[in-house]
Each structure stands twice: as C-alpha cells, then as structure tokens.
C-alpha cells in the first residue's frame, strides 16, 4: 500500500496507508504458516492475500468500526475476514475456466504461480478462514454479535451475493445485457461484500438499525461508483497502474457501465453516486469525515 | 436413498432411509430456487446436492442430535449444513484440475452436466450457504450455540481440515507416501467433517465437554474405518454400486490404505476401528444404539 492516491489530499492517503499497514500485519498473523505435507496450500493462501492490494474493503471495515468506537483488534479481525473473502473471489475469478486472468495485483495470478488445483484450494480455504476469524471470541465478547457478523458475511458472499454476481458476469459474456442487468450483477458481485464491510462496524458497535441502514445506503452508492471507475480504468488505465490486464471487457465485447453509458456519462454517474453516498452519512456528522473522503477518493483513483 | 444397506439389519436400513427422506426435504427447502439471470447457479447447486447420495454425514448429525434430545428442526438444519459442505467438496474435487472425475452419485459430475465455471461457483456458493443456515435463529435460540457450530464447521472444512486434506491427496499422486501421511490426509480430508457431524449434537445440546470428546473419538475411528472401506470399494467395488469410477487410485499408482496394508489387513483394520468407535459410546448406553449400529454398517457397506 503506497501513498499515491491520485488527487486525494495527503492526509487521506496517509490514513489509508497507515490502516493498510495495520491490516497487512493482521492478515499475516491470521494466515496459516506453511507446515506439513499440506504446506503448499498455506503458501498459496499467503501469496494471494499478502500481494500488494489496495485493501479498499478492509479499510472500509476499519473506518466503519471507528465510527462506533469498536476495539481496534475487533475492527482489524473483521477487516481481515473481508479481505480473505475478497481475495478468495479474485483467485477463483482469475481461473482459466472463469475470467482467465494471468496477472493480479501486479504479479502472476495464483494459478499461474502455483497451479490450478492449488488455486482452487487456496480460495476454498480462505472462505472458511474468514468465518473462523469472525467466530472466535477475540472478535467480540458477545456471541450474538459474532453470529450477526457471520450471517451478514454468509449472505454477502453466497448465491444471493458475490457468487451470484459472478454467475451473471459469466452469463453476460455470451448474451447482450442492459443497464439493469449490469447494475444487478455489480450489486451482487462487488456491492454485497462492500456493503458488509461498511455495515460491519454498526454490527460490532450494536448500533441502532437506522445507522446500519444508512451505512448500507452509503455502501450501495459507493460500490456502484467504485465499479464504474473500475470499468473506466479497464478502458483508460494501464496494467502498470491497475496491477491487472486492461481492455479485457471491450475485447470480449462485454457490456459494462462504460460501453452502455459512454465514458463521459459513466464518469458523471460515478461522481453523482459518490455525492449521494456522502449524503447518507449526514447523521454521523464529523465522525464520518474519513468515509466521506473515501467516497470522493474512489471516483478520483487511477488504480 | 434406497433401503439396501448390504448386510445391515432391516430396521437400521429403514431408520437410515427415513432420516434420508427427511434430510432430502430440508435440503430442497434450504437450497435457492433458480431465478433471475443467475438461475444457472441455483440449478447447479440443486443438481449436485439433490443427487442420490448416501447422506452418511447428515445422518450422523441427526443421530448425534438425537442423543441429546435436540429439536428435530435444529438437527435437520445442522445436517443440511454438513451435506452442503460435503457436496461442495465433491463438486470441486471432481474438477478436471483436481481428481478429474466424470461420474458422481451415479450421474455426470456437475462440471460435465453444466461447465467448469458453473461447477466452481456452485461449490463456492454451497459453502457460505452452510454457514448461513447455521447462523439463523431457527438453528438454535442461543447465539452462543450457533457460534460454536460455525466455529467447529469452519475449522473442519478449512486449511487445517478438509481443504488441507485434499491438498495432501493431490500431493501424494506425485510422491510416495507412508501410512502416517495417508492417515493424516484422511483425517483432514474426510475425518474432520465426519467429526463435526458427530460432535454437532453435543454442541446443539450444550452437553458437557467429556461427551463431546467421546463423540470426537467415535468419529475419529469411524472416519478412518469409512475411508478404508472406501479404498477397498475402489479396488473391489463396481461403478454401478458406488456411483463413481472405481480402480482410480491403483491406476494412478497412488498410495492408499489398501495399497499399503493389503486387502485383508485393511479389512481387519476397518473392523477393529469400528469396534473401537463403538467402545467410545459406552457412556451413552442404549441411547447410542443407532450410532453403534451405524459403525458396524460402515464396515459392511457395499457402496
């Protein structure tokens, strides 16, 4: 996590970098160490997770926990669970039978560096690890809170969440899709886990339902803005900056926000969504400054 | 689930068939219904799970819950979670990059009937569905119990459980392995989830630790006996009876209990383990008759 966040002011970049460093340390600590005849599995899990990622989702989880004064250890454990879930989805999405991507986070994808079977298994092992981290008392003294976290994560990554979204993503490679389908795809594929990250602080802090709803609304707009920019970077970005192949969607003739709206309208839409995301944070006042600035950052990012 | 369990007495077969029917109904009810642009995912999940399986693991979970007088709905939900986890592992293990099996439960494997990407995603969706089922209040009124179930499941299927075991299984295709490695592989690959199924009733019933330990010991021996018979069926069984390809391990020159011990010693070992499994149930008296008979059945099964 380096500190060049486009036009974001220095202090936001510094805060993100500092959170990223803390998150990386906890990821390292929670991942299994290679040992025994199954050592290769732990190696692949560590390779995929500890690669230099943006840590956008876990940073959202930490920021959300901050809003409710949650213990730092709790916040970082939830953040780690989010990053394990996210990384597993990247490892599986990159497989030859899925999106067939050779480069991820600026390094060979897990199935290239290891092999396909090991990549499938590394993803398979990261998912239960996320639940294991949430299930332990270190995450929260109250079992009801841990259960609520696990239920929300399970919904976010399951058939009505992330995996459902990836299913639609594969389907639209072969058939025309309208903006409604693309929006639903993104809400499931990336939006659901982003929403979990944003809501997790409210769950940890046992906040009133209205606050959890506000964060969900923030996440909804933020997630779509994030994805529109991702689509723009696929058109306008470079592999060097994004750490993954670009120009893929256009090459496949795949419907995206950019192909459906055009570059300019897509950028305006992302900007509008970011403004709207910020408006949902009003009730939190100054405490939500970091989350507001994060929403602005999302539409200005270059990777 | 039909009622011909080798030489098992009629009443055990009937009890297993009746439990299997109840379990199948709950699986059907908890699986998502195909809808929307992601319908194919739900279709593949249903295809894999609702295929005619032995339901051995969920039956263990139901029998364990019976021991502690748990509500039937709770028992069946835990059983369903176990079967979702088990089925996901079969779907992924059958992939071309893993064990490359075309036939499973007497029908084309999920990646053959659908495609590889859909098979990966169906497995990916079944795992969080298992956690979602456990996380909901219908499973148990006490969040502490649900959390304990989820922690135990996460450990059983994670890098130090099922996925770790599959990693070793792939490794021993390429290198010689001794009985210690094969035993560890099986304890992780199949033993850990069988142990979760056996222990789950004690968790649901908030039983004293000593009882949970007894069930764990029972499961340990039962799981190894089950696997030895599986290896024997790979040598002596037919695809018709087992619902999957046979003769695979020998074809690959892979070390198994049978290749390392020989047929006769392997069968004796399984018999001894079944006796030992039963001995761990002593403290439960007559209440554990079904579990005792299940252990006997395991070493007599023909599929």
Percent of all residues in chain B with a pLDDT value above 70, rounded to a whole number: 97
Shortest Cα distance, chain A CAs vs residue B203, angstroms = 14
Residue B146 has its nearest CB partner, among A37, A147, A171, at A147
> A270 and A256 in contact (C-beta within 8 Å)?
no
H helices of A172-208, where?
179-186, 192-204
In total, chain A counts a number of residues equal to 303
Beta-carbon separation of B171 and A143 below 8 A:
no
Does the pLDDT of residue A3 top 50, yes or no?
no
Q: Which of chain A's residues have a Cβ under 8 Å away from the Cβ of B139?
A: none
* pLDDT (tens digit per residue) in B99-110: 999 999 999 999
Q: Locate A50 and state its tokens.
A: 């500890």
pLDDT at residue A8 in the model: 45
- Residue that is written with structure tokens 């994004």 in the block: A242
Euclidean distance between CA atoms A233 and B211, whole angstroms = 57
- Of the candidates B33, B38, B36, B62, the residue with the CA atom closest to the CA atom of residue B50: B33
Q: Which of chain A's residues have a Cβ under 8 Å away from the Cβ of B188?
A: 38
* pLDDT (tens digit per residue) in A263-290: 999 999 999 999 999 999 999 999 999 9
Q: How far is CA B15 from the centre of its chain?
A: 18
Distances (CA, A) of A225 to A102, A200, A235, A247: 26, 20, 16, 19
Give the dihedral sign, CA B140/B144/B146/B148.
negative
Residue of A nearest to B37 (CA): A168
What topology is assigned to A10-300 in CATH?
Farnesyl Diphosphate Synthase (1.10.600)
Shortest Cα distance, chain B CAs vs residue A38, angstroms = 5
Interface predicted TM-score (ipTM)? 0.94
Residues with Cβ within 8 Å of A38's Cβ and at least 6 positions away in sequence, in order, are B159, B164, B165, B167, B168, B171, B188
* pLDDT (tens digit per residue) in B94-142: 999 999 999 999 999 999 999 999 999 999 999 999 999 999 999 999 9
Average pLDDT over residues B198-202: 98
Q: Locate B62 and state its tokens.
A: 């139901």
In total, chain B counts a number of residues equal to 303
Beta-carbon separation of B128 and A154 below 8 A:
yes
Euclidean distance between CA atoms B42 and B23, whole angstroms = 19
pLDDT at residue A2 in the model: 30
> A228 and A262 in contact (C-beta within 8 Å)?
no
Euclidean distance between CA atoms A153 and A146, whole angstroms = 11
Euclidean distance between CA atoms B88 and B230, whole angstroms = 19
* H helix or E strand, kind and range, residue A150: helix A143-157
Euclidean distance between CA atoms A161 and B224, whole angstroms = 37
Give the dihedral sign, CA B119/B121/B122/B127.
positive
């Amino acid at each position: 996590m380096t500190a060049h966040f486009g036009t974001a002011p220095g202090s936001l970049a510094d805060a993100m970098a500092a959170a990223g460093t803390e998150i990386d340390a906890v990821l390292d600590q929670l991942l299994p160490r290679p040992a025994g005849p199954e050592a290769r599995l732990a190696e692949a899990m560590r390779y995929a997770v500890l690669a230099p990622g943006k840590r956008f989702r876990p940073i959202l989880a930490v920021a959300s926990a901050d809003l409710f004064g949650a213990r730092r250890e709790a916040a970082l454990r939830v953040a780690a669970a989010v990053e394990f879930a996210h990384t597993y989805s990247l490892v599986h999405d990159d497989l030859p039978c899925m999106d067939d991507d050779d480069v991820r986070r600026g390094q060979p994808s897990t199935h290239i560096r290891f092999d396909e079977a090991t990549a499938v298994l590394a993803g398979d092992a990261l998912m239960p690890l996320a639940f294991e981290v949430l299930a332990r008392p270190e995450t929260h003294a109250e079992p009801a809170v841990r259960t609520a976290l696990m239920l929300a994560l399970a919904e976010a990554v399951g058939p009505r969440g992330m995996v459902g979204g990836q299913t639609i993503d594969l389907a639209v490679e072969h058939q025309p899709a309208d903006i409604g389908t693309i929006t639903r795809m993104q809400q499931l594929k990336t939006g659901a886990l982003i929403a979990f990250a944003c809501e997790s602080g409210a769950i940890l802090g046992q906040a009133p339902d209205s606050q959890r709803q506000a964060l969900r609304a923030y996440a909804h707009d933020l997630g779509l803005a994030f994805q529109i920019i991702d689509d723009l970077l696929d058109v306008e970005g470079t592999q060097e900056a994004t750490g993954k192949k670009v120009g893929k969607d256009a090459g496949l003739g795949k419907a995206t926000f950019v192909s459906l709206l055009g570059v300019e309208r897509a950028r305006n839409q992302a900007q509008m969504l970011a403004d709207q995301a910020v408006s949902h944070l009003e009730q939190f006042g100054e405490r939500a400054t970091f989350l507001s600035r994060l929403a602005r950052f999302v539409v200005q990012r270059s990777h």
